[in-house]
Amino acid sequence: MTNELLQAIQLLKNKKWVDLTHTFGPNSPHFFMFEDAKFETLFSQNDGFFAILP
């Protein structure tokens, strides 16, 4: 890695990170012209992992 990249990584490591993720579902607020969120299960834990398609 270049020195610039290493400096950038070190700078990012020293910053405070805030997780802004939140839950999302059919009852989440949204623009009235859009439909409510719908989810389709693609894989379950029986398949070895869990994945949904929003």
* 47 lies in some domain: yes
Q: Judge whether 50 lies within some domain.
A: yes
Per-residue model confidence as pLDDT tens for the chain (54 residues): 789 999 999 999 999 999 988 888 888 888 999 988 888 888 877 877 777 776
In a domain, 3, yes or no: no
For residue 42, what are the domain limits? 20-54
Would 15 be classed as within a structural domain? no
Residues of 10-33 as b/e, b for ≥16 C-beta within 10 angstroms?
eeeeeeeeeeeeeeeeeeeeeeee
Instruction: Please report whether residue 27 resides in a domain.
Output: yes
Structural domain includes residue 11:
no
pLDDT at 12: 94
Q: What pTM was computed for the model?
A: 0.36
